[in-house]
Chain A
């Protein structure tokens, strides 16, 4: 798993609530059996004026000039500023894969859908939760400032703007540690293999019907 410690970068806006995973990466791109290459199709239906299909060269597709991330001032953004319930809908991990492949290392929003939030940590994308008021402040500063950048530090759990404002955010300690070190979670769980086996022995005695039926 990819580690995340600290990131400074240009901020881009996604100024609407309930951005769902169909919007982040439409279903036709889910046909891929790979983990990479989803970046050019991030927000595909909002970003382009035509209909996109997998395997297509996106470099000469017509861009939607009204879509914020297409504006020159937000080109190269690596921190996505978003609204509440970001990532709702399906469990597709293709959503954080697309964000990461596009170049986003951080998302900042007041809240996230549970599965999306969880999926981000598996892919080195840090989903920062700030209050609605704090996110409002960042949207105002972003709109007013060309080349607006933020500094995001996972160890200190802070988002710092150039105007000197510091916003603290919280997250689970186990998620923080995994992301900071980029540990192989499966490897970590397998350290407890004896406990898993012991559980299975006891479970097999108590609820034997759980095992063996599917062959």
Chain B
């Protein structure tokens, strides 16, 4: 057999049929549902008199539209003040109860942001096809899954048939070799990649991240990277299986035990690209060139090292690019040539499916420890990605570090990443955010988002402006390794 990429292997092993019209029927192992993109799909099933194809492939939880405020959460679903939000969360509960789908309800242990919850429960395992009505589903690719976002019509299709009508993507490999420096995190690596290939650089491709930087990275860090594949236009991002993948999975709730575990591990170890496998596009970066990254504009590709200046429109050769930079700077209220490490920040958000895992919480806490939020900062939200992350962080005392620094320790959910709930920016406010999108209005109408790592966001909270976190690390205790 010809040499195959990891993506080729995952595709081949889930092929139910190759249809005459050039499409394929692809089997879906795991379907993750949440309250925002599922109600119309369930309604479609009801109208057509259909039910789920099977139940043990589905898992659901509310995350996008729920409050992160403790007292509001304690009031339960019926206590959600906004009627439209309440109906949506209630509808997920009702649909899951009606059809018999396993749901981790709003305040149950296990609940969390879909892309934090799936891997940490072991609901997503290596070699699976994983879909969800959310574009950041690529996150699960960190476990060598073929995982991607789908629309609501496809949510209904997967519920009803356990399959998707698909067309195979092309293969792209992004390699980063070397060893990243102190203060350079997985977020910086993926932002640097997006800066290089652009927001549509991966369109039509499944990206495999390879090289020593990803081998050295924790599985949580790989999730941060795969999560943002979509910001480079790729629906799918993946990292091959290695020992870290296997130790990550071991002992998790839905992962097999005993003989079945050994059988699974044997198969999982084959989930790597063969030597000489063909990639349609190869991109290479070197770790030495990557320093902490910050976005200055309104697209994730508008990113620069924290040491750089905000670009000047007049320096852009391409006319369309110049127009884009002008428009972005106007929206962001920034002048070309301003040092990025001087931009004042109003609010800080540490959370989202990109950066709300336990490592992210630790990373932020290391910077926050023994320091105070600058007086000019209106709010610092620390939103753990799941009930399990929250419990673990509290067991480690991280919540106390944040609270002592003047930050708010919240309940798990998507929160200010997309600002569907009350956590949002005011008009014109700048936010140091660990989320994934800096689109116009994403975190609130007129809000100005600067994407960065949890360490950088925590440092901005302390400094009151964007700052190179490496200055904090050199002056803080030795042995801090971000």
Q: List 29 A-B contacts (CB under 8 A).
A: A16-B324, A18-B200, A22-B437, A23-B439, A30-B64, A31-B84, A35-B40, A88-B199, A89-B437, A91-B150, A93-B37, A114-B233, A115-B151, A118-B150, A119-B153, A173-B22, A185-B153, A186-B156, A190-B160, A193-B161, A195-B17, A196-B161, A200-B162, A207-B264, A209-B264, A213-B122, A213-B254, A214-B102, A215-B56
In the complex formed, the residue of A with least CB distance to B58 is A214
Complex interface: stretch among B127-135, B386-394, B403-411: B127-135
Q: CA separation between A131 and B65, bound complex, in Å?
A: 39
Residues 196-215 (chain A) with a chain B CB within 8 angstroms: 196, 199-200, 203, 207-215
A111/B161 in contact, CB under 8 A: no
> In the assembled complex, which residues on chain B have CB atoms less than 8 Å from the CB atom of A23?
439-441
Within 8 Å of chain B (Cβ to Cβ): is A177? Answer: yes
Q: CA separation between A187 and B127, bound complex, in Å?
A: 28
Residues 197-237 (chain B) with a chain A CB within 8 angstroms: 199-200, 203-204, 230, 233, 235
Complex interface: stretch among B85-93, B181-189, B472-480: B85-93
Within 8 Å of chain A (Cβ to Cβ): is B123? Answer: yes
Q: State how many angstroms separate the Cβ of B416 from the closest Cβ of chain A.
A: 11
A114/B102 in contact, CB under 8 A: no
Within 8 Å of chain A (Cβ to Cβ): is B243? Answer: no
Size class of the A contact interface (CB-based, 8 Å): 35 or more
Q: State how many angstroms separate the Cβ of B323 from the closest Cβ of chain A.
A: 8
> In the assembled complex, which residues on chain A have CB atoms less than 8 Å from the CB atom of B230?
89
Within 8 Å of chain B (Cβ to Cβ): is A113? Answer: yes
Supposing A22-B441, A89-B135 touch, asked if A196 and B23 sit within 8 A by C-beta, the answer is no
Q: State how many angstroms separate the Cβ of B122 from the closest Cβ of chain A.
A: 8
Q: State how many angstroms separate the Cβ of B229 from the closest Cβ of chain A.
A: 11
A192/B87 in contact, CB under 8 A: no
Residues 23-53 (chain B) with a chain A CB within 8 angstroms: 23, 25, 27, 29, 36-37, 39-40, 43, 48, 50, 53
Q: CA separation between A188 and B149, bound complex, in Å?
A: 22
Contact among B65, B150, B255, B320 for A115, CB-based, below 8 A: B150
In the complex formed, the residue of A with least CB distance to B50 is A186
Within 8 Å of chain A (Cβ to Cβ): is B1? Answer: no
Q: CA separation between A208 and B149, bound complex, in Å?
A: 25
B152/A31 in contact, CB under 8 A: no
Q: CA separation between A3 and B156, bound complex, in Å?
A: 19
The number of residue pairs between A and B whose CB atoms lie closer than 8 Å in the complex comes to 205
A172/B153 in contact, CB under 8 A: no
> In the assembled complex, which residues on chain A have CB atoms less than 8 Å from the CB atom of B143?
none
B151/A118 in contact, CB under 8 A: yes
A122/B151 in contact, CB under 8 A: yes
In the complex formed, the residue of A with least CB distance to B82 is A31
Within 8 Å of chain B (Cβ to Cβ): is A78? Answer: no
Within 8 Å of chain B (Cβ to Cβ): is A33? Answer: yes
Q: CA separation between A192 and B25, bound complex, in Å?
A: 9
A177/B21 in contact, CB under 8 A: yes
> In the assembled complex, which residues on chain B have CB atoms less than 8 Å from the CB atom of A177?
21
Supposing A189-B161, A195-B17 touch, asked if A111 and B200 sit within 8 A by C-beta, the answer is yes
A93/B200 in contact, CB under 8 A: no
Within 8 Å of chain A (Cβ to Cβ): is B244? Answer: no
Within 8 Å of chain B (Cβ to Cβ): is A28? Answer: yes
> In the assembled complex, which residues on chain B have CB atoms less than 8 Å from the CB atom of A96?
151
A33/B419 in contact, CB under 8 A: no
> In the assembled complex, which residues on chain B have CB atoms less than 8 Å from the CB atom of A215?
56, 102
In the complex formed, the residue of A with least CB distance to B91 is A33
